[in-house]
Amino acid sequence: MNRHSNTNRLATAAPTTATAAAAATTELAAAWRRKW
C-alpha cells in the first residue's frame, strides 16, 4: 500500500520536475539571447 502511494507520488512529481526544468532552461536561453 505504501509502496503504491510512493510510486504514484513519484509519477506525479516527475513530469512536474521535467516541466519546471524545461521552463527554467527556456528562461535561461531567452535571458542569454537578450544579454548578447
List pLDDT tens digits, range 1-36. 556 666 777 677 778 888 989 999 999 999 999 987
Q: The cell 506525479 sits on which residue?
A: 12
Task: Please tell me the predicted confidence (pLDDT) of residue 26.
Answer: 95
Helix H, strand E, coil C: the string for 1-28 is: CHHHHHHHHHHHHHHHHHHHHHHHHHHH
pLDDT reported for residue 6: 66
Q: State the Cα–Cα distance between residues 31 and 21, nearest whole angstrom.
A: 15
Residue carrying the nine cell digits 509519477: 11
Reported pTM: 0.53
H or E element at residue 30? helix 2-35
Predicted confidence at residue 33, as pLDDT, reads 92
What's the confidence (pLDDT) of residue 30?
Answer: 94
Q: Specify the pLDDT at position 1.
A: 52
Structure confidence at residue 29 (pLDDT): 94
